[in-house]
Amino acid sequence: MSTIAENLADIRSRMEAACLRSGRDPGGVRLVGVTKTVPVDRVREGVEAGITILGENYIQEAAGKIEAFSGMQISWHFIGHLQSNKARVAADCCDWVETVDRDSLAKELNRQVLKRGRTIPVLIQVNVGDEVSKSGVSPEGLLQLFRAVAQYEGLEVRGLMTLPPYLENPEDVRPYFQMLRRLLGELRQEAPHPELLTELSMGMSHDFEVAIEEGATLIRVGTALFGSRAAFPA
């Protein structure tokens, strides 16, 4: 198994190359290390190698890992489906929630973060592939949801997130990334504060280079960074 430091160096090199190909500043793209099912000691190795943003898919797992890394300069992003009755846990321990996909969740998350005297940056998750197995608002419903979420004082809408269909060839995923970028542009035209809408969270281990070429500002990488989940004991 490669070391995390070696994997991280390779990913950063590929990120920079993708930015150069598309005429972008490499400083405009941030890596979210996805730690779903990754053992704490391996996550720690990643943090020591220089990872500063970590993303979790399961809120209870997130809470435990965040506690384990208490006091360290890490930004924790929640990137999985969040049930409204778990919003209080996210409000307690997460720095960002990337997966706001319905008003009922936004309303409860807002209530919980205001109870704690804080605000939280959020992304609206869009189901660009119209897949019944995945969460996310439809492209057609995005504007209505954005208008609702933007009214909540405790939530700062910073952009959009998507989990597109998995396709073997990353080039085949490009149209979905282009769609999300276009949707963000349309939102910016409608938003009272378009300068706040800057984030596109898209791209994972096998397609993040294409995502960067299409404007990703956050890429969510797990397997290429920490290794296959199959390598970890259950």
Q: pLDDT digits over 151-169, tens only?
A: 999 999 999 999 999 999 9
Residue pLDDT, tens place only, 89-119 = 999 999 999 999 999 999 999 999 999 999 9
Give the pLDDT score at 232.
Answer: 55
Q: Would you place residue 218 in the very low, low, confident or very high pLDDT band (cuts 50, 70, 90)?
A: very high
* CATH of range 4-226; options 1.10.260.40, 3.30.210.10, 3.20.20.10, 3.90.76.10: 3.20.20.10
Q: What is the pLDDT of residue 228?
A: 85
pTM of the model: 0.95
Q: Is there a contact between 65 and 78 (Cβ–Cβ < 8 Å)?
A: no
